[in-house]
Amino acid sequence: QVQLVESGGGSVQAGGSLRLSCKASGYSYSRACMAWFRQAPGKEREGVATICSDSSTTYADSVKGRFTISKDNAKNTLYLQMNTLKPEDTAMYYCAARVWGGMFPEYPERPLTPAEYNYWGQGTQVTVSS
Residues paired with residue 66 on neighbouring β-strands, in sequence order: none
Q: Which amino acid is at 56?
A: S
pLDDT at 27 > cutoff 80: no
Nearest to 94 by CA among 129, 55, 50: 50
Higher pLDDT, 116 or 27: 116
Share of the chain above pLDDT 90, in %: 82
**Structure confidence at residue 96 as a pLDDT band (50, 70, 90):** very high
By the 10 Å C-beta count (0-12 exposed, 13-18 middle, 19+ buried), 34 is classed as: buried
Residue 65: strand pairing partners: none
Task: Identify the CA nearest to 78 among candidates 47, 33, 116.
Answer: 33
What is the distance, to the nearest Å, from the Cα of residue 22 to the centroid of all Cα atoms in its chain?
8
Which amino acid would we find at residue 15?
G
123: region left, alpha or beta (phi > 0 left; psi from -120 to 50 alpha): left
Nearest residue to 94 (alpha-carbon basis) of 39, 24, 19, 33 = 39
Task: Tell me whether strands 91-99 and 119-120 are parallel, antiparallel or unpaired.
Answer: antiparallel
pLDDT above 90: residue 37: yes
